[in-house]
Amino acid sequence: MSQTWWRGAAIYQVYLRSFADGNGDGAGDLAGLRSHLPYLKDLGIDAIWLNPWYPSPMADGGYDVADYRDIEPVFGTLAEAERFIEEAHELGIKVIIDVVPNHSSTESAWFKEALANPAARDRFWFADEPLNDWQSIFGGSAWTQVPDGQWYLHLFDPGQPDFNWNNPEVHQEFEDVLRFWFDRGVDGVRIDSAALLIKSDTAYEDLDEVHDVYRRWREVADEYDERILIGEVWLPDQERFARYLRPDELHTAFNFDFLSCAWDPADLRRSIDLTLATHTPIGAPPTWVLANHDVTRPVTRYGRADTSFAHGGALHGTPTDLELGYRRARAAALLAMALPGSVYVYQGEELGLPEVEDLPDEVRQDPMHARSGGTNPGRDGCRIPLPWSGDEPPFGFGTGPGAATPWLPQPESWRKLTAEAQRTDLGSMLNLYRTALRIRRELLGDGTLTWLPSGEKVLAFTRDSGLTCVTNLGAEPVPLPAGEVLLASGPLVDGLLPSDTTAWLSPQG
C-alpha cells in the first residue's frame, strides 16, 4: 500500500466485546478476533478500527478508560494486543485504535488520586457547585457530587469525568499515550468526541483552542511513518468541520452528514455534493459511513417510514419492513463503496444484521437507555454479538460446548444470517461485500467523481477508473447506461435497474 493508504481504504470497525469470544466467557476478546483475521482478510478490508480495548469498568462500553496503556483483562493482555497487531500486519491489514481524550474513568489512577486528595483535582473539572446547567449527553445533569461536597463535570456518564485541557499534564499524557501505541505498531487512532475537549464557562463544542491540540498530535503522528488521526467530529457546520482536516491537523473525519441521510435521492445527492465541496479544497479525502456502534443498523432504519438517523430521535418498535430495508442496505453499500475516499464497514453490516429492538430492559447496558429513563432505546441493539455459525445461539460467537451465553442475547432468527450460512450463498450480503470490496480495491477509492445526467430519483456518476455507479431510488425501473454490469445489489429486470438497487458498470473501451 502507498504512503497514503488511508485515502481510499476500506476500514472495518470491530466492536471487540461483540466480535468473537475466544475463551467462552460470553464476551468477545482478542483471541476471538485473532482467530477470525482470515475472515477479515478474505472479506477484503484494508484496516481494522477497534473500539476502546483498555481496562474499563464498562460504564459506557469501554469509553470510560481506566488505563490508556493496557488492555481490558476480559479482552486479553497487552502482549496479545501486540501479537494481534503483528498478525494483522502480516496479512496486510492496518490497525487503528480508539483514543478517548475528552474524558476518563472514575477508576483511572488520576481520578482516584483526585478523589483522595483535593489538591490533585486540576486534571478534571471540579468545583464547589455546578458551574453551569449543562446536561449530560446521555441525560440528566452533567455534574455529579463527590462525598466531600465538590462536583465534577462529565459530559457523558458520571463514570466518565471530563479532563481539564487547560492543564499541561493532560496534553503531555495524551502525547505520550499516542507514542506508546505508535511504538507498538498501531497505524492510526480514531479520536473520540474530538470536538469537545476544550471548555469555556458557557460552551464546550468546537472551541478554537481544540485545534492547537490536534496540531500538536499531528506533529507526534508525523514522527512516525504513515500514522493517521481520524476525528469523531459531529458538526453540522461544514466550514467548522473542515477546519479539523487542515493539512497540519487530522487526516480524516467521519462523515456523519452522509450517515444521517434519509434514503432519499435529493438528500443523498445534497450530502455527497456538500461532502465533496467541503473536502476538495483542503485536499482531505472524504469518508463514507453507513453504520457504527452508536446508530440504528441500516437494514432496520431503511425499512421505516423515516429512514434518516438522529441520536435523540432513535426509536424502537416503529413499523419496519425488513425486506425493504435489506434491499436498500445492499444498494446503499454499493453506493457508499463507489464514492471517492475511504469507506467504513461496521461489523455485522456485511452480514445484513438488523437492529435488535426487543431486548428486555434488564439486559440493556447502554447508559443512554438508563439515563434517559428508558425513553431512548440506547445502542445495545446494534451491538449484539455476531452470529458466526450453527443453528442456535451463541451461533459460534463463543466456541466450545461450555461457551457462556453472550453478554447480549442473539435472536434465534439469526440462524439464516451466520457468516457460515452466507459464505456459500452467492446472493448473500456477505458475498456482495466481498465482491464489492475486491472490485473497489482495483477500480474505486481515492479520487473524484463526475455526475452523469439522470432522472431526479437516480444517482449516477462515473469514477476516475471509468467505473459507473447507478442507484435507483425511485419506484420505477430505469434503463442503465452502456457498459457491462460488474455487480448489482439486486437482479436486473428485463435489463432495467429496479427500485432501491445499485449497479456498477465496467469502464468503457
Which parts of this chain interact with ligand NOJ (CB under 6 A)?
60, 63, 100, 156, 192-193, 232, 293-294
- The x, y and z cell numbers of residue 411, run together, are 435472536
Q: Whose Cβ is closer to ligand NOJ: residue 64's or residue 500's?
A: 64
Cα separation, 484 vs 128, in Å, equals 70
For residue 427, the minimal CB distance to ligand NOJ (Å) is: 33
108 φ/ψ angles, rounded to the nearest 5 degrees: -75, 155
> Residue 440's beta-bridge partner residues?
none
- The x, y and z cell numbers of residue 14, run together, are 470491530
219 Cβ contact partners less than 8 Å away, ≥ 6 residues apart = none
For residue 60, the minimal CB distance to ligand NOJ (Å) is: 5
For residue 73, the minimal CB distance to ligand NOJ (Å) is: 21
Q: Whose Cβ is closer to ligand NOJ: residue 63's or residue 433's?
A: 63
360 Cβ contact partners less than 8 Å away, ≥ 6 residues apart = none
- The x, y and z cell numbers of residue 467, run together, are 467505473
Q: Is the peptide bond before 394 cis (omega within 30 degrees of 0)?
A: yes
Cα separation, 231 vs 169, in Å, equals 22
Q: Tell me, yes or no, if 72 is annotated catalytic.
A: no
**Furthest-apart CA pair in the chain: how many Å?**
76
For residue 299, the minimal CB distance to ligand NOJ (Å) is: 20
> Which residue's CB atom is positioned nearest to ligand NOJ?
63
Cα separation, 215 vs 203, in Å, equals 21
Task: Look at residue 424 and give its three-state secondary structure.
Answer: coil
**Buried-state track 429-459, b at ≥16 Cβ within 10 A, e below 16:** bbebbbbbbebbeebbbbeebeeeebeebbb
Candidates 223, 273, 323, 392; catalytic one: 223
For residue 337, the minimal CB distance to ligand NOJ (Å) is: 22
Candidates 21, 98, 192, 257; catalytic one: 192
Q: Whose Cβ is closer to ligand NOJ: residue 193's or residue 428's?
A: 193
> Which of these, 247, 165, 151, lies nearest to 204 by C-alpha position?
165
Q: Whose Cβ is closer to ligand NOJ: residue 187's or residue 380's?
A: 380
For residue 247, the minimal CB distance to ligand NOJ (Å) is: 26
For residue 438, the minimal CB distance to ligand NOJ (Å) is: 29
Q: Whose Cβ is closer to ligand NOJ: residue 151's or residue 346's?
A: 346
Cα separation, 318 vs 354, in Å, equals 14
Q: Whose Cβ is closer to ligand NOJ: residue 72's or residue 232's?
A: 232
Long-range Cβ contacts of 169-178 (<8 Å, 24+ apart): 169/123, 170/123, 171/213, 171/216, 173/68, 174/99, 174/101, 174/213, 174/217, 175/216, 175/217, 175/220, 177/68, 177/69, 177/99, 178/99, 178/217, 178/220, 178/221
Q: Whose Cβ is closer to ligand NOJ: residue 46's or residue 294's?
A: 294
- The x, y and z cell numbers of residue 241, run together, are 468541520
Q: Tell me, yes or no, if 192 is annotated catalytic.
A: yes
Cα separation, 493 vs 477, in Å, equals 8
Active site positions, annotated: 192, 223
